[in-house]
Amino acid sequence: MKHLKEFFSSRPTRKFVKGDVLMHQDESSDDVFYITDGYLKAYTIADDGDEKLISILGPGDVINLEAVFYQKHSHRYYYESLTAGSVYIQDAPTLMKELSKSIEIVINLIRYVMTRNDELSQTLDNILQAKSDAKLVNYLALLVQRFGTEVSDGVIILPFPLSHAQLASMVGTTRETMTVQLRQLTKAGVIKPVKSGLFRNRQSGFEINLEKLREFTDV
């Protein structure tokens, strides 16, 4: 949202590299981050020690907005970078004072929060799907809607790597099942592993054929 970016653009900038943890679960901080570049994952650690992916965040997202409205608010998740990037930073008390002077920015923040809540509701609806293969294609469609970059006519790539384990945790299935489903989608021409370009390791991305994806999903 243009107005939010303009509002945060005068704040100090912090750069991060892949693997940086900007916020830790159960800790508290007054810092509010506006992502200008790059991608982060929000996740928690389950009792068995496995990482459970909650959501992906990218340019235009605001992190720790709760600190503006709740004192001693602790983070529910870890926020770790999937790629290099940068954020604008503003402490919550100062941000609250400035928000009180601008109803326009408050309205834009409300609009942003409502948009994110709608996306989280779509993700929850998807997780409650009975079939795991439907969960995967619907989740890919949601990622394409929000983050997809068209690299050629009808071919989309996600600008961050996701492992089989991360995708499995997001749709509530096992890594082994996810590997089988990704293999099936590859055979059907929906996805194609990226062998060069943005990603060159096992946690690579893949190209997504938009027309084929539409045949498999109701999102």
Topology, domain 2-124: Jelly Rolls (2.60.120)
Q: 181 near 136, Cβ under 8 Å?
A: yes
d(CA 136, CA 28): 33
pLDDT at 56 over 70: yes
Q: What is the pLDDT of residues 187-217, one digit of tens each?
A: 999 998 775 444 444 445 788 999 999 888 8
Q: What is the pLDDT of residues 150-172, one digit of tens each?
A: 888 889 988 888 888 888 888 88
Q: What pLDDT does residue 197 have?
A: 47
Q: What is the mean pLDDT of the chain?
A: 86
pLDDT at 173 over 50: yes
**What average pLDDT score do residues 10-16 get?**
94
- What is residue 104's three-state secondary structure? helix
d(CA 23, CA 54): 14
Strands 85-91 and 13-16: antiparallel
Higher pLDDT, residue 202 or 23: 23
Q: What is the pLDDT of residues 60-105, one digit of tens each?
A: 999 999 888 887 778 889 999 999 999 999 999 999 998 888 898 8
**What average pLDDT score do residues 29-55 get?**
90
**What average pLDDT score do residues 2-25 get?**
91
pLDDT at 174 over 70: yes
Q: 140 near 184, Cβ under 8 Å?
A: no
How is the chain split into domains, by residue range? 2-124, 132-216
What percentage of the chain has pLDDT greater than the value 70?
93
Task: Provide CB contacts within 8 A for 34, sequence distance 6+.
Answer: 4, 5, 8, 11, 60, 61, 62, 63, 87, 88, 90
**What average pLDDT score do residues 7-15 get?**
92
* Cα–Cα distance list, 27 to 24, 46, 72, 198 (Å): 6, 17, 9, 33
Query: At the top level of CATH, which class does the domain 132-216 belong to?
Result: mainly alpha
Q: CA 92 from chain center: how many Å?
A: 23
15 forms bridges with which residues in the sheet? 86
d(CA 23, CA 181): 32
Structure tokens at 165: 């384990």
Degrees to nearest 5, angle at CA 201 with 41 and 183? 85
Q: How many CB atoms lie within 10 A of CB 135?
A: 23
